[in-house]
Amino acid sequence: MAAGLGAKRLGKELSKISSSLPPGITLVSAENLEEWFLDIKVLDQNPIYAGETYRLKFKFSKSYPIEPPEVTFVKLSDRPIPMHPHIYSNGIICLDLLGSQGWSPVQNVESVCMSIQSMLTGNTKNERPPGDEEFVRANRLRPRDIDFYYHDNTV
């Protein structure tokens, strides 16, 4: 259970996003202060993502927002994992703002969703990261413990 700093902050974030969220982002569930689910859509006509909805899972540690949340895509029958050179087929996202180096505690659930949304919007490559298959097979680390090499921040 998130306590202290995180609890109050998450409570306030929740009341804000329950009433309003930017277009293409919807709150699916936030039953506790540990795990939230949100859906995102890519709004422009990017053919890679047209007509699809993707499900994001947020996991918060006790130290949130000092520590970044763990954010991954989850796969459901109607929620695929988006194709992107920084998104592995198991839903793990390689994005510097989700690592301790790139994270700032003034970021929040809404701003993270928007960053991911724009990361998809700007993408033109219908492909997985190099070594996806092997990574998905071998990785047992939690996303925050993976030392991603942010090779190309323009994607």
Partner 1 sequence: MDSDEDFQSTVSSDDDAMQDTDNDEMSGVEDFDAFDDEPDEEPDLGPNKIQRKRIAYDISFKVYSPTDIQAHQDEMMDEVNMILEMRKEDAAILLRHFRWNKERLMEDYMDKPSKVLEAAGLGSSTINPPRLEFIPGFTCDICYEDDDGLESFAMKCGHRYCVNCYRQYLTQKIREEGEAARIQCPSEGCGRIMDARSLDLLVTPDLADRYQELLNRTYVEDKEILKWCPAPDCENAIECAIKKKDLDKVVPTVACRCGHRFCFGCILNDHQPAPCELVKRWLKKCADDSETANWISANTKECPKCNSTIEKNGGCNHMTCRKCKHEFCWMCMGLWSEHGTSWYNCNRFEEKSGTDARDAQAKSRVSLERYLHYYNRYANHEQSARLDKDIYTKTEKKMVQLQTASGMSWIEVQYLNAASQALQTCRQTLKWTYAFAFYLARNNLTEIFEDNQKDLELSVEALSEMFEKPIAELSDPKLKVDIMDKTSYCNKRRVILLEDTAENLANGRWTFNVDLKSLAPVSSGRK
Binders in 20-59 for partner 1, by CB under 8 A: none
Whether 132 contacts 88, CB under 8 Å: yes
**Cα distances (angstroms) measured from residue 95 to each of 6, 87, 92, 102, 155:** 22, 9, 9, 9, 10
Find the helix or strand (DSSP H, E) in which 74 lies.
strand 70-74
Residue from 18, 63, 118, 126 binding partner 1 (CB under 8 A): 63
Active site residue 113: no
Residue 50 region, left (φ>0) first, then alpha (ψ -120 to 50), else beta?
beta
Q: Does 13 bind partner 1 (CB under 8 A)?
A: yes
Please identify, using beta-carbon distances, which residue of 39 and 67 lies nearer to partner 1. Answer: 67
Active-site residue identified among 38, 94, 98, 109: 94
**Nearest in space to 36 (alpha carbons), one of 81, 68, 70, 77:** 70
Please identify, using beta-carbon distances, which residue of 76 and 106 lies nearer to partner 1. Answer: 106
Residues near partner 1 (CB under 8 A), total: 14
Residue from 30, 65, 72, 113 binding partner 1 (CB under 8 A): 65
Residue from 106, 134, 137, 154 binding partner 1 (CB under 8 A): 106
Instruction: For the chain, state the CA radius of gyration.
Output: 15
Annotated catalytic sites, by residue?
94
Q: Which residues bind to partner 1, rule: CB under 8 A?
A: 5, 8-9, 12-13, 63, 65-67, 100, 104-107
